[in-house]
A and B are shown apart, each in its own frame.
Chain A
Amino acid sequence: MKICVLVKEVPDAAVEKRIDPGSKRLDRSGEKNLNPFDTHAIEAAMQLKEGGAVSVEEIVAVTMGPESAFRALHKAVSLGADRSVHLTDDALAGSDVAATGYALAKVLEQESPDLVLLGQQSDDGECYTIGAVVADHLKMPSLTQVIKMDVEGDKLRCERQAEYGYDTVALSLPAVISVGDAINEPRYPSLKAIMGAKKKPLDTKATGDVGIDVGQVGETGSRTAVLAINPPPAKEAGEIIEDEDTNETVEKIVNWLDERKLLA
Chain B
Amino acid sequence: MSGILTYALHYEGAFNKNSLGAVSEGAKLAKEIGGEAAAVVVGGDDLTDELCASLGNYGATKVYRVKGPEGLGAPVVDAMAKIIGDDGYSYALFGGGLLGFEIGAGLTARLGAGVTMEVTAVKAQGGKLIAERPILQDSAIVDVDYVGEPGIIIGRLNAFDTVESGGGAAEVVDVEVSFEEHSSRAVMVQRGEQRGADVNIEDADILVAGGRGLGKAEGFELCESLAGALGGAVAATRAVVDAGWYPYAAQIGQTGKTVAPKLYLAAGISGAIQHKVGMQASENIVAINKDANAPIFEFCDLGIVGDLNAIMPKLTEAVKAKKGG
Contacts and interface: CB of A to CB of B under 8 A. Distances in A.
Interface of A: 17-19, 24, 26, 96-98, 101-102, 105, 126-137, 139-145, 157, 160-172, 175, 216, 222-233, 235-236, 238-243, 246-247, 249-251, 253-254, 256-258, 260, 262-263
Nearest to B107: A136
Contacts of B144: 224-227
Interface stretch (B55-63, B83-91, B111-119): B111-119
Contacts of B195: 165-166
B110 A254 contact: no
B117 A129 contact: yes
B299 A101 contact: no
Label chain A's interface by main secondary structure: mixed
Nearest to B315: A250
Contacts of B115: 96-98, 129, 223-224
Contacts, number: 267
A126 B98 contact: no
B148 interface: yes
A236 B284 CA distance: 11
Given A170-B189, A225-B144, A163 B11 contact: yes
A135 B103 CA distance: 11
A253 B302 contact: yes
Nearest to B81: A136
B318 A97 contact: no
A241 B172 CA distance: 53
B171 to A, nearest CB: 26
Contacts of A144: 98, 101-102
A13 to B, nearest CB: 9
B148 A246 contact: no
A94 B319 CA distance: 52
B230 interface: yes
Contacts of A165: 191-195
B192 A162 contact: yes
Contact of A102 (B102, B109, B116, B147): B109
